[in-house]
A and B are shown apart, each in its own frame.
Chain A
Amino acid sequence: DGGITQSPKYLFRKEGQNVTLSCEQNLNHDAMYWYRQDPGQGLRLIYYSQIVNDFQKGDIAEGYSVSREKKESFPLTVTSAQKNPTAFYLCASSMGTSGAISYNEQFFGPGTRLTVL
């Protein structure tokens, strides 16, 4: 059963703590993305990775870090430097680029709702 999974679904953390959100895909996709969504808003890009061992900052990367050591995994760490971390976090993947074509059909996980207490 192919897809993209995120865990946990709900996460609570105390102010000042780092926390890592998991994202795994078995779709054999090259590209993976992390978005943040606040209530009533669209999605904003945090980080993305087009290939293993490489990633780029998105629009709101400050206070976050990522790694891409394996093709199927793209964990996101929310650090204590992130001033307002309470949000809904979404991970996505896509085929990436083949030649000059970028395949933009992204498949999303179910999301992790992070609440800072």
Chain B
Amino acid sequence: DAKTTQPTSMDCAEGRAANLPCNHSTISGNEYVYWYRQIHSQGPQYIIHGLKNNETNEMASLIITEDRKSSTLILPHATLRDTAVYYCIVKGRGSQGNLIFGKGTKLSVKP
């Protein structure tokens, strides 16, 4: 599974869009990009995943660059409850086993 690189921390004003970047320059053609988040002292929560097209659901949007070497998770109107650690993970759908959770990005949404 390809490795990912994320900033350690980010701040965002409440009501503004939060854009969380992730680099995955060694991603291979059959690997997906997954995003999870973990609110303090809770289990991680699945947010979204994508292969090469941009994806949107009720929680967020995922923008993947054309070369697939990086992606951005967008929370369009961040609230205080979005304060959490956000994990970007790359894994192939034909690949069994666990997801590798690194240290992620600590997003702090401020009033």
Contact surface of A with B, Cβ cutoff 8 Å: 33, 35, 40-43, 45, 48, 50, 56, 58, 88, 90, 92, 97, 100-111, 113
Q: B10-18, B75-83, B99-107: which one contacts chain A?
A: B99-107
Q: How far is the CB of A94 from chain B (nearest CB, A)?
A: 9
Contact residues, B75-99 vs A (CB, 8 A): 87, 91-99
Q: Which of B34, B43, B103 has the largest number of chain A CB atoms within 10 A? A: B43
Q: Which residue of A lies closest to B104 (CB)?
A: A42
Determine chain A's interface SS by DSSP, over half rule. Answer: strand
With A100-B94, A104-B34 known to touch, is A109 a contact of B43 (CB < 8 Å)? yes
Chain B interface residue bracket vs A: 20 to 34
Determine chain B's interface SS by DSSP, over half rule. Answer: loop
B34 touches A105 (CB 8 A): yes
Contact surface of B with A, Cβ cutoff 8 Å: 32, 34, 36, 41-46, 49, 87, 91-104
With A90-B43, A108-B43 known to touch, is A42 a contact of B101 (CB < 8 Å)? yes
- Residues of chain A lying within 8 A (CB to CB) of residue B96: 50, 97, 102
- Residues of chain A lying within 8 A (CB to CB) of residue B45: 108
B42 touches A58 (CB 8 A): no
